[in-house]
Amino acid sequence: MAGLFLLSVTVYRWQAFTHFAWTIILFKFLVTSSFFLCCYGMGRMVKLPIAVCLALPIVLEGISWFYIQHIIRANQHVEKHSIGVLDKWINYRDVIQFNRQFSSFSPDLGYTLRPNSKGYHHDLEYDNEFIINSFGLRDDEPSLAKPGIIFIGDSFTMGWGIDQDKTFAQLTEQKTGTKALNAGISSYGTYREMLLLSKLHRDSCKLLVIQYCDNDIEENTARNGPEFQSQLLTEKTFANVGIFNRLNESYFPMRYSYFFVREKELFKDIFTQPVQLWHDTSNAIQCWIAGTPPNAIPFTIKSETEVNDHAVQFFKVLSKIREIYPGNIVVMHLDGRYTKPEMINKFETEAQKRNDPKLHFLRACDLLSTSDYYPIDGHLNTSGHEKIASGLHDLIRSQKLLD
């Protein structure tokens, strides 16, 4: 009963543990202790040896880990990813811009990467070294001086889940022989990317590459509106989010089992939907045995109205970028797990109305397949970055964008 009580507290009142560093430690201790107490108590009720009772949570954690690995493997070469409840793992990732090792508060940008920091960022599908230069960007120091190509974007451009020398920015530099600066920072919208660009040396830049993502619209809309919203993230809020992120910065015992208990709402479903819970569990086991992913979820297609809103807000920011940079621009759209064509189609249509001969588009949707994304994390993997770099190189060469 003590184990069930503690586990219930960590499942249904976990937010209470996210305010201080010591409560984060307490939370992890309670999660671990609750599983061991539950397994020990239930094991002793059926008179299992103590050693077996204590081994049960370890076995449970092992099963959870191997099931996660099965989902990753089963989704490597499918037409569309299907990861079931693991689509909620995004809430359990270490967010690099709030990681103690890499995060740095900025009054006007909210945050940058911590200047001159170095370390590893890892999760279920990757483990990558990050080396940050003095400006707070994931690139080397020489790239800050007179770059011929500047890349702005969010985590896709920064290279979330990718080694530093394998991002499409670095690969484009290698293919073209032109110095490139990777100025991508995780979760930046186009507006903050514009603000960051204004701080960089642009005199030598012959090409600006802008990577757009669906979640840019929230920031762009807020900053473009008639009631202009300045940077809302305060230093105190930034510190609080950093404390919250400590929940996910590293592994703690029973982390994977806790994820399934909480996200599958096992406590509630046992009493309210036992038949459905049994069906879901049986289906997961059958998929595991067969080596296949769970049932696929249909693609989400944005409506014409939604796509139009994205385009309106993006081109408002693009007009501000044009005020500080008159040269060649390449725009591309990337989104998690798969990139659909409707967004770039709308951007190209809007661009035709503006008669800007130096504005070009890379159709990433035509280059990428499902296998170019991490199934659970959703970012581009190594092959995805290679395809984007090759596509950029071909576009640069065909349109003579660096001449």
- Helix, strand, or coil (residue 212): strand
Using one digit for the tens of pLDDT, what is the confidence trace for 64-86?
999 999 999 999 888 888 898 89
| pLDDT higher than 80, residue 222 | yes
Mean pLDDT of 329-335: 97
What's the pLDDT at 281? 77
pLDDT tier at 297, thresholds 50, 70, 90? low
Strand-pairing partners, residue 151, are 182, 209
Q: Map residue 123 onto helix, strand or coil.
A: strand
pLDDT at 392 over 80: yes
CA neighbor of 369 nearest in space, from 400, 401, 340, 399? 340
**Mean of all residue pLDDT scores within the chain:** 92
- State pTM to two decimals: 0.92
Q: Which residues contact 35 (CB under 8 A, 6 or more apart)?
A: 3, 7, 57, 60, 61, 253, 254, 257, 258
110-113 and 103-106 strand pairing: antiparallel
Structural domains of the chain, with CATH:
2-78+259-290 (no CATH), 96-241+302-399 (3.40.50.1110)
Average pLDDT of span 238-262? 94
Q: Residue 296 — very low, low, confident or very high, per pLDDT cuts 50/70/90?
A: low
Per-residue pLDDT tens for 30-73? 999 999 999 999 999 999 999 999 999 999 999 999 999 999 99
Q: Which two tokens stand for residue 215?
A: 């979640």
Per-residue pLDDT of 252-295, as tens digits, reads 999 999 999 999 887 777 777 778 777 777 877 777 787 777 77
